[in-house]
Structure 1
Amino acid sequence: MTPKVGIVAGISGVGKTWLLEKVGAAIPMQVLSASSLIRDSLFQTEKQQKSQDHLRARSIDDNQAALLEAFKRHLDPDRNLVILDAHVVIDTPDGLAHVGSDVFDEIDPDFIVFIKDDPRRIHLNRERDAKRERPERSVSSLAHQQEIAIEAAQNIAHSLSIPIHFVDGGDDEALAKVLRLVQEAETDV
């Protein structure tokens, strides 16, 4: 069995992981976090733990190579649905860096879901999350970053000829509906 693979993207602080945890209780799926996969791969090669926020200062190309290696290793082929919780743009110390469609092409996704939200809510989420050391960004900066990420996700979907769905942050019912529809759709032969 070949699982349907989806990318769930959105800017840092929009609530992708929270939504996936909530929806995962109702929909059987394997959820893989891009940052966890990168950290796992780097630990395998460098024998050092890297924090999630430390990754943004590393080479994007090196991180994406580590992601691909770990994704292939962790993918459960017996699952009907595999979701990669990922970013299409990374907020690095040098500015926003795009993750190329070639990286996602290697993952071979069937669809993308982009989680979007009011930048004020994203800003508040980021302020409340004491576990993460994200760069401080203004509401207007987050709005601009989200616009760039939406365009990047649309370009990736277009480049890979796959559908893209948009879900509002916090709307677990909408995400569940999209994932159920995708899961039930017949696989193209």
Structure 2
Amino acid sequence: MKKIVFIGGIHGVGKSYLTEKISCHLGIRSYSASKLIAMSKEQDFTANKFIESIDTNQDQLIQSIQLNTAFNESFFLDGHFCLLNTHKKIINIPESTFLAMSPRAIVVLFDSIASIKSRLAERDSIEYENDLLERFQDSEIEYAKKISELLKVPILLFDVTNGDFSDLSCFSRIAFDSL
């Protein structure tokens, strides 16, 4: 059985960066949900973060996890609890995705809206409204808490501002049965 720690957060919060750091530190493999979906679709994602077919993408994610990871592999998976559709509406990822994935623990990254906005502008050359990013981040956190309760798994809310990975390392060790 796969042992997954799901690391969530909105675009630009630093999921991939932090996941790679903690993955190297603990010697545990990591995957990006968007890259797994892109592999399944055989196409890359664009800088535009507005998703047309959220449900279809999540089905492809589950399929890609099954095809591209070992049966008993332990790994980090960075992804989202909510996404923006093509109308800039915040949409929750279906509960069925998390039920199928069955993560052992959840980490949700958050940061100041100004920092996130700056990273997105620099990385993707897209300006997001503060209000949209704030609602997006609040929705991400609240829905992650709901998924944690549904799955009865521990959750860690992690403020990336301080850059102290020790809490995340300790939490991950516990989630992976102390490695």
Taking structure 1 as the reference length, what is the TM-score of the superposition?
0.84
Assess, with a 3 A threshold, how the Cα gap between structure 1 residues 55 and 39 changes in structure 2: closer, same or farther: farther
* Residue pairs, 1:39-58, within 5 angstroms: 39-43=38-42, 49-53=43-47, 56-58=50-52
Equivalent in 138, 154, 159 of residue 163 of structure 1:
154
| Percent identical | 27
Q: Does the alignment pair 1:84 with 2:77?
A: yes
Assess, with a 3 A threshold, how the Cα gap between structure 1 residues 37 and 54 changes in structure 2: closer, same or farther: farther
Match of 2:105 in 1: 111
Assess, with a 3 A threshold, how the Cα gap between structure 1 residues 28 and 140 changes in structure 2: closer, same or farther: same
Equivalent in 52, 68, 72 of residue 74 of structure 1:
68
Q: CA deviation at 1:38?
A: 0.8
Instruction: For structure 2, list consecutive stretches of 5 or more residues without a partner in the other structure.
Output: none
Assess, with a 3 A threshold, how the Cα gap between structure 1 residues 31 and 97 changes in structure 2: closer, same or farther: same
Aligned residue identity for 1:114: V
Aligned residue identity for 1:4: K
Aligned residue identity for 2:81: V
Equivalent in 169, 180, 186 of residue 173 of structure 2:
180
Question: Aligned residue pairs: how many?
Answer: 176
Match of 2:132 in 1: 141
Residues 57-80 of structure 1 deviation map (CA, whole Å, 9 limit, x = unaligned): 33111111111110111122353x
Q: CA deviation at 1:172?
A: 2.7
Assess, with a 3 A threshold, how the Cα gap between structure 1 residues 20 and 62 changes in structure 2: closer, same or farther: same
In structure 1, distance between residues paired with 2:125 and 2:100: 29
SS of residue in 2 equivalent to 1:123: helix
Q: Does the alignment pair 1:97 with 2:91?
A: yes
Match of 2:120 in 1: 126
Aligned residue identity for 1:84: L
Aligned residue identity for 2:9: G
In structure 1, distance between residues paired with 2:129 and 2:13: 14
SS of residue in 1 equivalent to 2:25: coil
In structure 1, distance between residues paired with 2:63 and 2:113: 33
Instruction: For structure 1, list consecutive stretches of 5 or more residues without a partner in the other structure.
Output: 44-48
SS of residue in 2 equivalent to 1:66: helix
Match of 1:23 in 2: 22
Match of 1:46 in 2: none
